[in-house]
Chain A
Amino acid sequence: MSNRIVVCLKWVLQAGEPDDARFAGVSPADHAALELALQWAERTGGQLTAITVGPPQAETALRDAIACGASNAVRIDAPLSTNSADVAAAIASAAHDAKWVWCGDYSMDNGSGSVPAFLAAALSASQALGVTNVTFDDSGITATRRVDGGRREVLAVHAPVVISVEGATARLRRASLTALRASTTAPVDVVVPIVAMRTSQHTIQPYRPRARALAMPSGANVLDRVRSLTTTGTAVATHHEVETLAPAAAAARIVDALRDWGYL
């Protein structure tokens, strides 16, 4: 069985300097993923491949990873604005035999955190996303992740798996001077995707529930219409039905009811 370990790094242009590679960099979360991937590779004797999706300048992120100890590096040649599903598909095809895939939980720009999830799906791997703590032992990896209500979920992780980690899970080691010198001429494999990559244009906005649709008020005069709108003087309308249905039918019934009542 292959023991291929992969770390995914996103090279991100700085907000306010959209055209300037000098100010670009990699998120603390990606750095943490790199450090954990290096530790896991050392522990298991595996080879670590660093992968990025981006333009040629993004290779600086890969060379830094090589200087820190990655065995080889792959750049998938595509725009930084490539959408998450296509990024994940391209990584998955470049690393189809990967058993342990490490990612940062969010990039510094769009930050939707969706690439690791898409990647797990594309690789048919299990996933441990948004991990806050990682411990290695003889049986494998134990990952702790945040869940709602301040609780924690502890996962025993088995390959193949995609693990995305928060920035505070590890602090990236500093590359030695010798390794840094060697990395400046280290080869980087470039993969040109066969399919055209779709770019993502949408911006992320805070979640807002949809406004409830109301029917036109009825009533003979203005006062009645205002009353019917504000439900003044009448009991607040509530809906309740008790039915026993199979799950699929129950779901359909709920959707129908919500639509009837104007919530959808």
Chain B
Amino acid sequence: MSDPDVIVVGGGPAGSCAAIVAARAGLSVVLLERGPFPGSKNMYGGVVYPRILDDLIPNWWEEAPIQRWVTRRATMLLTETQALTVDFRTEAWGKAPYNGATAYRPDFDAWLAGYAEAAGAQVLTSTTVTGLLRDDKGAVVGVTTDRPDGDLRARVVIACDGVNSFLAKEAGLYEHTDAKHFTLGVKETLALPKEVIDERFGVRGREGVDIEIVGCTGGINGGGFVYTNLDTVAVGVVLKLTKLAAQATRPEQIIANLKGHPAIAPLIEGGEMKEYSAHLIPEAGLRMMPKMTTDGMMVAGDAAALCLAAGIWLEGVNFAMASGMYAGETAVEAVRVNDVSAKGLVGYQRRLSNTFVLKDHRKLRRAPELVLSDRVQHLYPQMMANIAERMFRVDNPEPKPGLRRILRQERKRAGVRRRHLWRDAFTGFRSYG
């Protein structure tokens, strides 16, 4: 068989979108997936925001294998005994064109890969890419796989090989890899009858809930999440690798502690463990991003560290789909003008820069660090929860204290310095404002 125009490595959201775009434009595309089917190696923190698919798959919401539409979004600060929740719900997110959805990645990714196949891409599963083929000038001209007779050449390689991206590393696109840029996500999927989930989370039909949690990971910087699928509830934690490695509590114990918290335990009581899973997250945003192109190759999705971990926004699949689409468009352009060098692929960086993909990351470049900072992680949740407790406590016959006094006292009690609070508020305002 003849060599394809484009090789896409990895059948996740980035790879499938790249393959859809390139194949629909008439290029011959081979998509290589190391799992037995696309999505079989993939796991995440639960919510996908698929609006980026509007052009690629019109009315995607009628077909996408989603579990529930997120109509209730909560952010929760936990201490050992307290919980302070900001809980938002809207009917608008429960109807087209929707906002966020919970979905199982083995379902969602396999569904998306089906579109790549329908567009004419050849999807080859159970095939692990082991390295790059390069010409004598160092340009990428193909990949090696773990199959006999397994070299495959193409004009362009789009590496969507996930968070560990050995291809981007082999191509020299990452200056270095540092454990401090990663978090580990671990998750339990717990089965409960749909009616029980509906009742406990106050939703009905296809409505769903996503709760993001700070202050539930002990001494380890990170966060937690609880979200609803149709008949399962997922509960998990995200842990900063370097902190996890430097202490003694294992990940499953940290989940167990979260599950035992008085604010969480009633939500998941009686849930039967269906699946335990783990995956790395490229958490550091702009600080860790590689060069996006080299001669003959582009990087997209988690492989390019395109994951937004900014506390109130936790997104990845949408960044993967968008970057995959833009890489696909760029490949089409480059093959047409017959220049697949880094110069010919420059449109990829331009597309990323001019869209939310890099705009969001630039705007929020300080957010990941702020969210994982010791103060946000360990001091502020306690302070905020204590303030709330004082505000809502009726101390008769004591008269009510003024709010300013509560704030000052609780700030001191939590050991938060005023100038740190101001500095973090300023950083937060610059990032999110």
Contacts and interface: CB of A to CB of B under 8 A. Distances in A.
Given A177-B148, A180-B124, A22 B1 contact: no
A22 B127 contact: no
Given A22-B110, A182-B1, A177 B122 contact: no
A181 B147 contact: no
Contacts of B122: 181, 184
Interface in A135-174: 173-174
A48 to B, nearest CB: 18
Contacts of B30: 181
Nearest to B145: A177
Contacts of B146: 174
B198 to A, nearest CB: 23
Interface residues of A, number: 13
B37 A181 contact: no
Contact of B106 (A22, A173, A180, A182): A22
Q: Name which of B30, B146, B147 has the most chain A CB atoms within 10 A of its CB.
A: B147
B376 interface: no
Interface string A14-49: 000000001001000000000000000000000000
Contacts of B110: 22
Q: Name which of A25, A173, A179, A181 has the most chain B CB atoms within 10 A of its CB.
A: A181
Interface string B279-319: 00000000000000000000000000000000000000000
Interface residues of B, number: 18
A178 B106 contact: no
Interface in A180-236: 180-182, 184
A182 B124 CA distance: 11
B40 A181 contact: no
A176 interface: yes
Contacts of A175: 147-148
B40 A180 contact: no
Contact of A181 (B1, B106, B148, B151): B1
A237 B127 CA distance: 69
Contacts of B263: none
Interface string B147-176: 111111000000000000000000000000
B147 A176 contact: yes
A174 B40 contact: no
A25 B122 CA distance: 21
B40 A176 contact: no
Nearest to A180: B124
A263 to B, nearest CB: 46
Nearest to B40: A22
Contacts of B1: 178, 181-182
A110 B211 CA distance: 43
Contacts of B36: 22, 25
Given A22-B106, A182-B1, A184-B122, A177 B150 contact: yes
